[in-house]
Amino acid sequence: MPNPDSIWYAVRQTQVILPPRQTIETFGATTIKYHLVSELMDTANKVRVREGRARSERPMIISPSEYAEMLLDGFGEKANEYMEVLRQQGDLVTVLKYGLRFHKEPANESFVNDNIEVVVQRVKTEVESTQDPLSAVLVGADELWEVSLIKFLFEYVQESVPKNIGDFQKSGDIPTRFSRQQEVERAFMDAERDPSRLNTLGGMLQKYGLFEEYEDRFYALVRKHR
């Protein structure tokens, strides 16, 4: 049986039952109201329902030199540890360039003696009736519930990025460097699928003066296609 104290146990336990219908606001703060349902490990049919809010600041586009970290305010040690794992794996690259900070407010808890599936459906029905486009219902680990919340928020950010970047581009409120990096990322994906595009990618990096920054990644791709 997986260790319930493991971050990856919590990640696997996480399910988004009802996602928000609205993406992160491009030009303002966003407050997500989450309802996280979890089953107590040591008691049969004992379910905990946590209700709280996570608020994101207005997204920003930042350059690599301004990378710091995706800052979490109000989250515990395990949540920050999970974010560090994502950062080391490279999964946070887009989010880091995006520049986003999440604040977690204290959560309210209630307990229900019932089957977790029944409780989840009940919570889902109640939340749907509010027609709040920024409410979400999750199933997660009980002890490491913050890890489950972070997994949900991270995926929510990733889903919001394309619309927000489009809004920035339409408004003209996006640095040229970031636009070029988006173009470079697309060129890397093209070269990943088609080795004949490596020359095009290399030429683009030279043209934009980015070759040194992407040199290791470029040559790793060249070696991969040999």
pLDDT tens string, the chain, 226 residues long: the values are 445 568 889 999 999 999 999 999 988 889 999 999 999 988 888 999 999 999 988 877 665 444 444 567 788 888 888 877 777 766 665 665 666 778 899 999 999 999 999 999 999 999 999 999 999 999 999 999 999 999 999 899 888 888 887 887 787 766 555 667 778 888 888 898 899 999 999 999 998 888 887 888 899 899 988 8
pLDDT value at residue 4: 52
Domain boundaries, the chain: 7-171, 176-225
pTM of the model: 0.69
Runs of H (alpha helix) within the chain: 7-13, 77-89, 93-98, 116-130, 145-171, 176-193, 198-207, 211-225
- Distance CA(29)–CA(26), nearest Å, equals 8
Q: Which residue has the tokens 């979890």?
A: 38
